[in-house]
């Protein structure tokens, strides 16, 4: 049984996925299995994957989204920890050894998350040796500062993922999983070295406005209905969802979508008031009105 199962969901990533897999095969901690869950690719991705033979496992399904693809891979994962990597991102050679060192030092936490570096095009060459390991341990994710964590720089205990039933098949599955596992004991946030090279490009799913909008609405509805748990950690969960709603509403406002922005504002308004977000609560409608006028005038 390997220590890590590396799960790579993929959809039409023939251009990038070979570099992604190669970055896993180059890890200086080799005790891992690689599972690629192809989500109905039509661009030749499967032909690229076939070149790796038995060095990787490939599972396929009709297109159903990244949450369903991750769940497909999880059904076949055997590692103690599952490390996630999106099919357009890369790992430095030390990512798994960094996770392993943090896991051992923190006595098997439920979650380990590391920092990342963003790039477009070709990444710059990483240093030959990683910077020293630095991390902070928390009793759980809900006892941490509640930052946003990149899936490609995250490893989770497989038994924890199994306990919550894996990923939602709705959008924003990456934020949803944190809300469902946030109370499990042990969260380690690595601050050094960087654990992922995050590729930005026009085809990234996080850049799709409707996808993100529907995902944030799903988070709000699920939390309001008690879908993420009861009274324990409720205030913390709602602070996290409200934080996501604020960020998304500003995202849409800046991109000329005031209707989407205002929808998220109204849906999360009660929680924003409870959390004392006075500036946001009173200033946002005026910003949205101003933006609406600019959009209507074509400016």
As a whole number of Å, the CA-based R_g of the chain is: 20
Q: Residue 192: CA atoms inside 13 Å, Cβ hemisphere, count? A: 6
- CA dist 285 and 291 (Å) reads 10
Rounded mean pLDDT of 84-99?
A: 96
Q: Same domain, yes or no, for 148 and 238?
A: no
Q: Same domain, yes or no, for 66 and 175?
A: yes
What sign does the CA torsion over 11, 17, 23, 29 have?
Answer: positive
Q: Same domain, yes or no, for 17 and 139?
A: yes
pLDDT value for 211 = 78
The answer to whether 252 and 292 are in contact (CB under 8 A) is no
107-126 tens-digit pLDDT: 999 999 999 999 987 787 77
Q: What's the whole-model pTM score? A: 0.91
Q: Same domain, yes or no, for 102 and 248?
A: no
Q: Same domain, yes or no, for 9 and 150?
A: yes
Task: Tell me the CATH number at 113.
Answer: 3.90.550.10
Can you give the residue range of the structural domain that contains 291? 208-297
pLDDT value for 290 = 85
178-205 tens-digit pLDDT: 999 999 999 999 999 999 999 987 665 4
pLDDT value for 218 = 93
The last residue of a domain, from among 173, 199, 225: 199
Q: Same domain, yes or no, for 267 and 184?
A: no
Q: Same domain, yes or no, for 28 and 165?
A: yes
- CA dist 49 and 17 (Å) reads 8
Q: Same domain, yes or no, for 195 and 214?
A: no
pLDDT value for 210 = 79
The answer to whether 191 and 151 are in contact (CB under 8 A) is no
Q: Same domain, yes or no, for 233 and 180?
A: no
Number of domains in the chain: 2
140-157 tens-digit pLDDT: 999 999 999 999 999 999
The last residue of a domain, from among 157, 178, 199: 199
pLDDT value for 141 = 98
11-70 tens-digit pLDDT: 999 999 999 999 999 999 999 999 999 999 999 999 999 999 999 999 999 999 999 999
The last residue of a domain, from among 132, 166, 199: 199
pLDDT value for 240 = 97
Q: Same domain, yes or no, for 24 and 162?
A: yes
Of all residues in the chain, the percent with pLDDT exceeding 70 is 96
pLDDT value for 200 = 86
User: Residue 298 contacts by C-beta under 8 Å, 6 or more apart in sequence?
Assistant: none
Rounded mean pLDDT of 238-254?
A: 94
**Residue that wins the pLDDT comparison between 110 and 288:** 110
At 256, the pLDDT band (50, 70, 90 cuts) reads confident
User: Residue 160 contacts by C-beta under 8 Å, 6 or more apart in sequence?
Assistant: 110, 111, 181, 184
Mean pLDDT value across the chain = 93
Rounded mean pLDDT of 62-83?
A: 96
Q: Same domain, yes or no, for 282 and 161?
A: no
Q: Same domain, yes or no, for 166 and 33?
A: yes
pLDDT value for 255 = 87
């Amino acid at each position: 049984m390997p220590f890590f199962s590396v799960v790579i969901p993929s959809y039409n990533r023939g251009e990038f996925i070979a570099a992604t897999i190669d970055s896993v095969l180059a890890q200086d901690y080799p005790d891992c299995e690689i599972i690629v869950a192809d989500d109905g690719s039509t661009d030749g991705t499967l032909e690229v994957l076939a070149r790796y033979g038995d060095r990787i496992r490939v599972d396929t399904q009709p297109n159903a989204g990244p949450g369903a693809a991750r769940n497909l891979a999880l059904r076949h994962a055997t590692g103690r920890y599952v490390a996630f990597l999106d099919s357009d991102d890369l790992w430095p050679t030390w990512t798994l050894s960094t996770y392993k060192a943090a896991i051992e030092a923190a006595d098997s936490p439920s979650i380990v998350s590391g920092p990342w570096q963003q790039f477009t095009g070709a990444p710059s060459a990483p240093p030959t040796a990683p910077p020293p390991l630095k991390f902070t341990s928390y009793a759980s994710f809900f006892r941490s500062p509640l930052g946003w964590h990149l899936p490609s720089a995250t490893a989770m205990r497989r038994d924890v993922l199994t306990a919550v039933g894996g990923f939602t098949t709705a959008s924003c599955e990456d934020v949803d999983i944190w809300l469902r596992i946030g109370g499990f004991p042990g969260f380690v946030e690595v601050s050094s070295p960087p654990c992922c090279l995050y590729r930005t490009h026009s085809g990234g799913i996080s850049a799709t406005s409707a996808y993100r909008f529907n995902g944030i609405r799903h988070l709000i509805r699920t939390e309001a209905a008690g879908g993420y748990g009861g009274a324990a950690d409720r205030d913390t969960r709602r602070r996290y969802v409200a934080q996501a709603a604020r960020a998304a509403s500003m995202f849409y406002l800046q991109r000329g979508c005031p209707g989407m922005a205002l929808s998220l504002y109204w849906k999360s308004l009660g929680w924003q008031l409870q959390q004392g977000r006075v500036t946001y609560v009173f200033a946002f409608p005026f910003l949205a009105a101003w933006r609406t006028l600019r959009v209507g005038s074509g400016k």
